[in-house]
Amino acid sequence: MLSSIRFHWAIENALHWSLNVTFDEDRKRNRVDNSAVNFSFLRRITLNLIKQEPTKMSITHKRLKANRSPKFLNKIINIKQNKF
């Protein structure tokens, strides 16, 4: 039982660490209505799309490149659409 609990928390910690490092999520101060939950949901979707992109770059670098390059952003967005 302890090993399954550790496994669960290892996954949780890895996800939250990625979100914090990539999006600086701990310092976000969304407090109006459901904005914190909504933005967290969008960040998780974004993180998953960025991770699926096969280019050998850090997640942070991919995020910044997508911000500056519409072509790269479309490449990331279309990854998910091509799988269906």
Residue-by-residue pLDDT tens, the chain, 84 positions: 878 777 777 776 677 777 777 777 777 777 778 888 888 888 888 888 888 888 899 888 999 999 999 999 999 988 756 555
- List the domain boundaries for the chain: 2-82
- Is the whole model's pTM more than 0.75, yes or no? no
Q: Are 53 and 76 in contact (CB under 8 A)?
A: yes
Q: What is the pLDDT of residue 62?
A: 92
CA distance 31 to 44: 18
Residue 26: which H helix or E strand, with range? none
Which are the contacts of 60, defined by CB distance < 8 A and separation ≥ 6?
A: 21, 22
